[in-house]
Structures are given as C-alpha cells and as structure tokens.
Chains A and B, each alone.
Chain A
C-alpha cells in the first residue's frame, strides 16, 4: 500500500520538477519578490546623500523667499550641508506661469534641478502648490515642502492679524508620529506602512503562486493521463486512493521544494541587502497555514480537475479558483486600514479563504489566539472532508471521458462515493 503510494509520489515529483511550468513558477516568484523590493525601495524615503536643487515658481511673490530660507536651514544632510537648495526660477506677481513652467520642465528633464514647486495662487482661504519632478514617488520632498509651506502661511496669516509668530510656534505642537508595530511578545518594533504592506503582499503572493502552479500541474497531469488512457493502466495497478495519495504526496514534495528554494533566496537577499520582513517572527505560524492551505487546495484541485477532459476546461476552472485565491490580495489595502474589522474575521472562517486571509492578516496584525486555534481546527476538519470528497470524485472522474460530466453529477459522486 504505502510502497505504491511512494512510487506514484516519486514519479509525480520527479516528472513535475522537470516541467517548464514548475521551473517558471520557481523563478518567477523571487523575481516578483525582488521587483517588489525595488518598487518599495523607490517609494520608501531614502535619505539623500547629496544636496538637491529644487526650483520654485511663485506667482504670489510671498512664499519663495521664506521657503528657500527655511528648507535650507531645517533639513540638513548627515555632513551638515543643506539637503535642499532652493532656486527661485520665477517669482513675483504677474509672471507668465506657462512659460516659467515650460522652462522649469526643461531644467528638470536636463537634471539641472531635481524638481520644482509651483505656487499658482496664494491667498485666503486656499493656496495651490504643485510639486513636479521626474520621480512621482518623491514623497519625502513633497511632505517636507508641504510642512514648511504650511508653517510659513500660518505665520503670515498670524502676522496679518497682529499675532506674534513666536506665540504661534508655541501654540503649534511639534508632532512626530511614528509607526510602531507591537509584536507578539509585546516588544516594539518600528515599521513603516510599506514594510507591513509589502510583507503581507509577498506572503500572499507566495501562497498564491505555490497553490496555483502545483494545482495547474496536478490538473494537467490528470487530464493527460485521462486522454492517453494511462489512467486505466494506473487504476488497474493501484487503487484510486493510492493513486490520489501518491499525487498529493508528490505534489506536496513539489511545494516544499518551492518554499525551500524561495526561503533560500529570500534569506540570501535579506542578508545581502538588509531587507527585513515584518512577519519573520511569525514564520512558523505562516508555514502552518501554508501547509494547510496547500493540502486543502490540493483536494479541491483534484475534485475539480479529475472530471475534466480537455485542457481548455482545465484552464477555465483553474481561473475560477485563482479568483478565490486572489480575494485576499484585493483586500490587502482595506485590511491594513482596519485590521480588526468584523468582515475580515468572517472571511477568515471560510475554509477556501482561511489560509490566504491568515497569510494576509498575520503580518498586519496578529489575530487573537482563539481565532488561530479555531481556524486551524476548521482547516483540520475541512482537509480530510475535502480529501474524501475529492477521492470519490477522483475515482469516477478519472474514468469519465468524452463529454465532461455536469456539476450535479459531480456533487452526486462526492456524496455517494
């Protein structure tokens, strides 16, 4: 019994490890991960190492001067040189904004300035300022410009009403909100929004790729065995249970190969580039959900794939499953905004979503202990149930050829066995 399961598992593993689809999945994921890392690196504020020249076009004539002064004084590089040099490009009432902007664009494109701010109107109640540069992700400069301009405008308005700017400074709290994520042990750890987002995202993508690539390999191999009738030789050699167990086992080996390979690359990358992942301390728990999700979806793919007869149908069906898997990726943003939301919890308890939802939630905010226990319990019940149902469908489905059976038939198989 076991010997034959192992023979099947070994075959499935070795033949699929060599397949193109697997190799693509294997290398695509790290590329996506590295891509994400680069992307977040672009977005994330990096300290400048040399002075940046920023242009100013000011149609009011009141802001450019104080802006330049303050920016140059307030923000310094580590070598005490000013981080920014403000170059007044065109300042004063009645300037020709269009031609000034055109000229500034040329300067920016020629890299003479890193970017420029345009004050197109200034007065009560609104001041309109635009920051233009080649890199849209220049969030740090935009934020600093905004902060500086705000204080200048506030002081100007205070002065206009006869209030001493010093009083204003007193009134204004010097606020510095830092994002600190509490880890399980109650330790604190500074973490940026992006870091959390990217970590959750990377883990979701990993789980997604893992399930989709091996699921597709599984379905494709079943369909091939059906179309060349090898399946008849197989089920006359081993029982359908042995065959299915062998396939699941071989596929799991495939999944572990994938994870191990990714982990290796990930560790190497984080050692090399110093990229840390927020959720690394939860890695063990995440792996538990990875395994549970993997096994659950293996059963689903077998149940859904074995009655199919053509590659086209297989692609169609796997794309439906992909939608199920992709749900948490779509929800990543709202989940970050409100990690304790009720709807998130409810979705987590649907077995089809449990593993992916957990892969999303754990890096963002550790769910309560009862939730973890309950969801693992749900998966531990769902997996054997899904396997039994899949086994019943598999036994009949692998021998059905020609027209694919109706969904009602498949449900009947799953029930009756």
Chain B
C-alpha cells in the first residue's frame, strides 16, 4: 500500500532521515523501531505529508500524495493531547469530520467505540476531566474512527497500563484483519516482536535493519540450543550444524550455524542420550538491536523510558 524510497530530510544542522526505504502492504503491521531521536517521528511526519521531504519518493498504492488521501489516513501522534475544555463526543466528531466523515455516521461510530472502551457515560464530559489513559483511548478512537486505509501510530503504547495495552493490541490486530496498513513506532522491542509482521530499525536517520521479524532473527541472530540429558553427551560437538559446544555433566549449550537443521540434530540425539529438555533459544530483537546499534555511554537506549 505504501512504498517509501530513499527518503531524505535535512534540518538546519542534522540529516534527520537519510536514505530510508520500506514497504507496507495491506493487512500488515509495520514496526518502526529505533532509539529516541533516531528519526522515526520525522519519517512518519513525511509519510503523513505534514513535513516535506528533501529527497526520495513516497507512493500510496502507486500514486503520489493527494488531498483526497487525507481522509484515508489515521494518525496518533507521539506527544498527545486533546482540547482540554471541549466535550469528549464533540472532539471525536470534529476530528472525524475533518477526515471527511459525515456527522451522523461519525456519531454512530464514536458511540460504538466509546461503548467498546467503556467510556460511553463520559461522552458529555470535558476532556480534562478524564484520566490520562482514558484520554489516550479517545485519541486512539480519533485515529481510526473514519476507517482509514493507512493507520500511523507513533508510540501507541507508551504510558498505557497493561490492561489497556492489551485492549490496544487487540484493536490493532482487528485493524490488521480488516486489511489496513498499519505503521507503529516504538522503542519497546517486546511490543514490536509480538505485533509486527515487518520492521525497520532506524538509527541516526539510517535504516540499520529491515525485513520480516523472522528474517531479521535469522540473519542477525546466532541460534543456540540448550539441552538437558542423561548419558554421555560428548558426541554433540561433532554433529552437523553445531559450531561450538559447551558440554557439561548433564547439560549442553550448542551454538548453531545459520543453516543448522534442528530436526536432524534432535534425531541424532535420540537414542544416544535420554533427553529431558530440548530448547531452541532464539535471540530477542532486543539483543539483536543492542548488538546492532550499540549502547551509548551512560545508558540503555533501546529501553529508554521516554
């Protein structure tokens, strides 16, 4: 649905986005990852036509941006707020109407979402009377109420309690099933790992990693096998696909080559030793990214709480 090619954006002294390319199809959740200040939000703003790119092209279903497209985009900005003094329902209706929705339809949809998020009784209240989590629900509603084709969520889970995180994740999966193209940016790797189909890690404006989650893991991860057994395990270091082995009394840690065939290894073990535990340890995205981006002096960048 969305194709971004060689995107570039310069601010006064820095290149915020440098030669970034990615694709997102319908029914796909795309995770845009990176440490704070990596250029995620800038890239998102360019995709949304809020900022103009200094170079590169973006096409939406093969066409360049046009005014009509605005009605098919939903957007949840990173730093969030609403009109504090305005009423809940009024605010939702306004933001739906400027996306081209008819008022009556917008009202039906708004009430449906409010009911789902358990906020129906608040509809005539002022936004400022709501808790932060509830305000975030309202913002989420406003970003999807008009049934957009492309949904862009900048750090959708930050500041949410676990219950609401699950609520949002469910909603995201529904959107995916409904064939939307979804971009969400995050610096929480576990979220990205759970939700995204494809992802892209940006650091200092550049794409460092990209592809499907499995691809990324396969390419950059070094799989290791953890086995617990009874018997003599010394044969394990010479099995095909095992690069390195640490054999203990009743356990072994095996580093596997990328092309290792797990099934064959398991078959070879059966009969020779009595296996109690056979566990393939996949590297987490977290460890891949820390390895790729590196940890700057003075802090963890990927888990930053900001």
A233 and B77 contact, CB distance less than 8 A: yes
Given that A7-B98, A8-B98, A11-B94 are known contacts, is A236 also in contact with B82, CB under 8 Å in the complex? no
Given that A7-B97, A399-B51 are known contacts, is A238 also in contact with B70, CB under 8 Å in the complex? yes
Residues of B within 8 A of A311 (CB): none
Q: Which residue on chain A has the smallest CB distance to residue B99?
A: A237
Given that A237-B95, A237-B98 are known contacts, is A228 also in contact with B75, CB under 8 Å in the complex? no
Residues of B within 8 A of A227 (CB): 81
Contact with B along A146-189 (1 / 0, CB 8 A): 00000000000000000000000000000000000000000000
Residues of A within 8 A of B90 (CB): 15
Inter-chain residue pair count (beta carbon < 8 A): 61
Contact with B along A1-34 (1 / 0, CB 8 A): 1011001100100010001000000000000000
Q: How large is the interface on B (under 10, 10 to 19, 20 to 34, 35 or more residues)?
A: 20 to 34
Residues of A within 8 A of B77 (CB): 229, 232-233
B70 and A232 contact, CB distance less than 8 A: no
The complex places the Cα of A234 from the Cα of B91 at a distance, in Å, of 12
Given that A229-B77, A239-B67, A399-B51 are known contacts, is A234 also in contact with B98, CB under 8 Å in the complex? yes
Residues of A within 8 A of B51 (CB): 399
Residues of B within 8 A of A11 (CB): 94
Residues of A within 8 A of B97 (CB): 7
Q: Within the complex, which residue of B71, B81, B85, B100 is in contact with A230, where a contact is CB–CB below 8 Å? A: B81
The complex places the Cα of A397 from the Cα of B80 at a distance, in Å, of 19
The complex places the Cα of A227 from the Cα of B77 at a distance, in Å, of 12
A228 and B94 contact, CB distance less than 8 A: no
The complex places the Cα of A11 from the Cα of B79 at a distance, in Å, of 23
Residues of A within 8 A of B83 (CB): 15, 224, 228, 230
Q: How large is the interface on A (under 10, 10 to 19, 20 to 34, 35 or more residues)?
A: 20 to 34
B75 and A233 contact, CB distance less than 8 A: yes
Most buried by A among B50, B79, B80, B90: B50
A236 and B100 contact, CB distance less than 8 A: no
Q: Within the complex, which residue of A1, A8, A232 is in contact with B75, where a contact is CB–CB below 8 Å? A: A232
Q: A residues 371-407 with Cβ under 8 Å of B?
A: 399
Most buried by B among A234, A235, A237: A237
Residues of B within 8 A of A7 (CB): 94, 97-98
Measuring CB to CB, which residues of chain A are less than 8 angstroms from any residue of chain B? 1, 3-4, 7-8, 11, 15, 19, 224, 227-230, 232-239, 399
